[in-house]
């Protein structure tokens, strides 16, 4: 049975309660897990607060050294961790390997910053005084993670937090705790001191983290409704919050675009991780002259994405993570079809044999989806893509911004002027121009509008795990 990681303890829930984690491809039980609650969060927060007193005072270059060593150790375990992730989440083993690798690399990337970010010296009008701006870690930080990219999204929070000298109480999604535990355990084996990152498990631990008085900052990746609840509850304790929430990323393809490159990026962008990505091409707007050729290429690519158990090397797309998620995407597709949309590919379930045991779904492309359909107005968190013909860039930009969300966006064109307008006018935290939607370590990532606020990745994320203090030295 898996256990929580609280300082030196590998512990069950205080209540003794447990629940089962099941494989989305087979329905089999992968492991039994403690169903933690407020008492466990309290223990973890106390442990993190204790560890903060030593971790935050470690010289920054030493902290960097510890984190590099720990990440190197963790990276040697990618081959052991990836199958755990596939079994609990459903994604293909290739996707799991990439994700586990990214976890270690993310820790190392922020370790590099640990001793490079500093405060400043400020001249004051009175020459017998001078000012300093000192940058300090915040304290204990809460990290709350969803199930779609359990490792990437945990690392996005844990890595900048601990590199800056904070300690963490981490809560994975209740359905995907196991690979996260393995990663944190590997960091500890590699030399990360006990108590710097504590992992609590179970649905009820999320709210307890947000309301715990010792936890000073909350970073959540999750749905927009959860983000609103977390922000309201965090307001009670005036905590800092970073909210990475839902998205419905538009992609505009103009007549002059490299259609092969666009088709590849859109296909990866929509179908990677069985479409369960915050940054995914979720609305496609194609100019008339490129429409037929691009659609043909997209359908050809989708037809090669064989759904299957993620552990099977021939599978190109795992199952959806839960039955509820699949039902939601199917309902969104049905809504579009009922309103008159035309199915260009998919829109069903692969059936028979092992397919009937898991939450499998076909990659789906729909044309002529009418205005007002759920696929345009809601986030589609699965492998289904609505495509619409547009007259020109103006129409594309208008439709791109006709959404409550503002996470990612992309444009394919060879016109510098068109690309420039998209960069200026699309309301989103990221715009890719003729490029695959990859969230780079070097660039700050985060949304606008109902997609949340605050940044992960980049120097900006590190800074958000620090507080500035002004100091005046007098009597010079």
Catalytic residue flag (residue 278): yes
The β-bridge relationship of strands 448-449 and 405-406 is antiparallel
Q: Under rule CB under 6 A, which residues in 186-245 are in contact with ligand NAD?
A: 203, 206-207, 210, 220-223, 226, 229-230, 244-245
Question: Which residue number, 328 or 390, has a Cβ lying nearer to ligand NAD?
Answer: 328
CB 157 within 8 A of CB 168: yes
- The least distance separating ligand NAD from the CB of residue 263, rounded to whole angstroms, comes to 24
Interface with ligand NAD includes 145 (CB under 6 A)? yes
Rounded Cα gap, residues 197 and 113, in angstroms: 19
Catalytic residue flag (residue 244): yes
Instruction: Out of 95, 99, 185, 244, pick the active-site residue.
Output: 244
Instruction: Out of 183, 274, 278, 328, pick the active-site residue.
Output: 278
In a 13 Å sphere around the CA of 64, the CA atoms on its Cβ side amount to: 12
CB 476 within 8 A of CB 128: yes
Rounded Cα gap, residues 91 and 162, in angstroms: 28
Residue 132 pairs in a beta bridge with 121, 471
Q: Under rule CB under 6 A, which residues in 283-342 are in contact with ligand NAD?
A: none
- The least distance separating ligand NAD from the CB of residue 476, rounded to whole angstroms, comes to 47
Question: Which residue number, 114 or 181, has a Cβ lying nearer to ligand NAD?
Answer: 181
Q: Name the closest residue to ligand NAD (Cβ).
A: 206
Rounded Cα gap, residues 37 and 208, in angstroms: 7
3-state secondary structure of 469: strand
**3-class SS letters over 431-466:** CEECCCCCCCCCCCECCEECCEECCECHHHHHHCCE
- How many other CB atoms are there within 10 angstroms of residue 128's CB atom? 9
What string marks each residue from 259 to 288 as x (binds ligand NAD by CB under 6 A) or -? -------------------x----------
Counting residues that bind ligand NAD (by CB under 6 A) gives 31
3-state secondary structure of 199: strand
In terms of residues, how long is the chain?
476
CB 425 within 8 A of CB 450: no
Question: Which residue number, 55 or 359, has a Cβ lying nearer to ligand NAD?
Answer: 359
- How many other CB atoms are there within 10 angstroms of residue 338's CB atom? 9
Question: Which residue number, 350 or 454, has a Cβ lying nearer to ligand NAD?
Answer: 454
Tell which one of 253, 407, 418, 461 touches ligand NAD (CB under 6 A): 407
Tokens 């579009």: give the residue. 336
Question: Which residue number, 203 or 377, has a Cβ lying nearer to ligand NAD?
Answer: 203
Q: Which stretch binds ligand NAD (CB under 6 A): 146-154, 182-190, 262-270, 345-353?
A: 146-154
Interface with ligand NAD includes 144 (CB under 6 A)? yes
Rounded Cα gap, residues 147 and 129, in angstroms: 52
Interface with ligand NAD includes 67 (CB under 6 A)? no
- The least distance separating ligand NAD from the CB of residue 207, rounded to whole angstroms, comes to 4
Kindly list the catalytic residues: 244, 278
Contact residues for ligand NAD (CB under 6 A)? Answer: 144-149, 153, 171, 173-174, 203, 206-207, 210, 220-223, 226, 229-230, 244-247, 278, 379, 381, 407, 447, 451
């Amino acid at each position: 049975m898996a256990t929580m990681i609280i300082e030196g303890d590998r512990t069950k829930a205080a209540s003794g309660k447990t629940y089962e984690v099941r494989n989305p491809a087979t329905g089999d039980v992968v492991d039994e897990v403690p169903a933690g609650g407020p008492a466990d969060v309290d223990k973890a927060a106390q442990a993190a607060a204790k560890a903060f007193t030593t971790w935050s005072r470690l010289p920054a270059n030493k902290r960097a050294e510890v984190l590099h060593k720990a990440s190197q150790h963790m990276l040697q375990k990618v081959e052991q961790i990836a199958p755990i992730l596939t079994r609990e989440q459903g994604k293909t083993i290739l996707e799991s390997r990439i994700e586990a690798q990214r976890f270690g690399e993310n820790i190392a990337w922020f370790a590099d910053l640990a001793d490079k970010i500093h405060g400043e010296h400020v001249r004051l009008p009175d020459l017998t005084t001078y000012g300093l701006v000192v940058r300090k870690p915040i304290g204990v930080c809460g990290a709350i993670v969803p199930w779609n990219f359990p490792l990437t999204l945990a690392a996005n929070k844990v890595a900048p937090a601990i590199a800056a000298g904070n300690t963490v109480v981490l809560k994975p999604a209740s359905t995907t705790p196991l690979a996260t535990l393995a990663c944190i355990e590997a960091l500890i084996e590699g030399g990360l001191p006990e108590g710097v990152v504590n992992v609590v498990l179970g649905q009820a631990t999320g709210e307890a983290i947000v309301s715990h008085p010792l936890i000073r900052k909350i970073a959540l990746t999750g749905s927009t409704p959860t983000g609103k609840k977390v922000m309201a509850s965090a307001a009670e304790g005036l905590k800092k919050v970073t909210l990475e929430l839902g998205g419905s990323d538009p992609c505009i393809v103009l007549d002059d675009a490299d259609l092969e490159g666009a088709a590849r990026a859109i296909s990866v962008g929509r179908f990677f991780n069985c479409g369960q990505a915050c940054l995914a091409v979720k609305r496609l707007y194609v100019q008339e002259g490129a429409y037929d050729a691009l659609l043909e290429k997209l359908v050809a690519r989708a037809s090669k994405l064989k759904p299957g158990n993620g552990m099977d090397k021939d599978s190109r797309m795992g199952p959806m993570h839960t039955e509820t998620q699949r039902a939601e995407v199917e309902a969104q597709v049905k809504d579009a079809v009922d309103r008159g949309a035309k199915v260009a590919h998919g829109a069903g379930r692969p059936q028979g044999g092992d397919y009937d045991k898991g939450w499998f779904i076909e990659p789906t492309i729909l044309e002529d989806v009418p205005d007002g359909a759920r696929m345009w107005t809601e986030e589609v968190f699965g492998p289904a893509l609505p495509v619409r013909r547009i007259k020109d860039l103006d129409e594309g930009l208008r439709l791109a911004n006709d959404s409550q969300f503002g996470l990612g966006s992309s444009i394919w064109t060879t016109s510098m002027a068109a690309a420039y307008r998209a960069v200026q006018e699309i309301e989103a935290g990221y715009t890719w121009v003729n490029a695959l939607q990859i969230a780079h370590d070097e660039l700050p990532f985060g949304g606008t509008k109902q997609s949340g606020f605050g940044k992960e990745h980049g120097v900006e994320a590190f800074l958000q795990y620090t507080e500035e203090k002004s100091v005046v030295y007098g009597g010079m």
